[in-house]
Amino acid sequence: MPSNFYNRGTLQSKDLTAVARFFSWWIALSSPLAALALLWPLPIRAGNYATCILDHAEQVGSDAAAKAVSQGCLASYPAGMEAVGQGSRNGGTDFRSGAQCSARKAQDTRSEMAAYQIKRACQRLYDHPDFALPAAIAVP
């Protein structure tokens, strides 16, 4: 009959539960905290929220790390994506469209959340608005 820690008396049930609880919390928090620690001095060359996402979300391996990137960029640029002008980088030489940017920047990520953030940032920076703005309404 195989022996275990309970039968030998070396580790009581409540002690085992406490140890398991500690390690489960440690494992759950270690990935996002490590990602946040690495991203603390975020915007060295980022000019806005979208470029911050593109600079830091490329190699992300988990959704928790992608969330840490998003929170770090949002802390640096509190206005978020709304402050980024639609098509503001379209004249640049980096990419011709948001789709091209998304395909190239998101190819190495294993996180769906990071891929979505990259796609959204690329669309905001490199795609022109699809609608014409309405003309001003004259008030009599």
What is the mean pLDDT for each group of 10 consecutive residues in the chain (140 residues)? 50 53 56 53 63 90 93 91 83 80 91 94 85 63
| Beta-carbon contacts of residue 1 (< 8 Å; ≥ 6 apart) | none
Residue 99: which domain range? 13-126
pLDDT for position 44: 45
What pLDDT is attached to residue 129?
Answer: 75
Residue 118's pLDDT is what?
Answer: 94
> pLDDT at position 85, please?
85
What is the pLDDT, as a whole number, of residue 86? 85
Q: Is position 107 within any domain? A: yes
Query: CA geometry: angle at 76 spanning 74 and 77, to 5°?
Result: 60
Q: For the chain, how many structural domains are there in total?
A: 1
- The verdict on residue 6 lying in a domain is no
Residue 38 lies in a domain: yes
> Would residue 2 count as lying in a domain?
no
CA neighbor of 115 nearest in space, from 66, 48, 77: 66
pTM of this structure: 0.60
pLDDT of residue 24: 59
Establish if 52 belongs to a structural domain.
Answer: yes
Residue 126's contacts (CB-CB under 8 Å, 6 or more residues apart) are 87, 89, 90, 94, 95, 96, 97, 98, 100, 101
19 domain-assigned: yes
- The predicted pLDDT at position 62 comes to 93
Residue 51 lies in a domain: yes
Cα distance between residue 118 and residue 90, in whole Å: 16
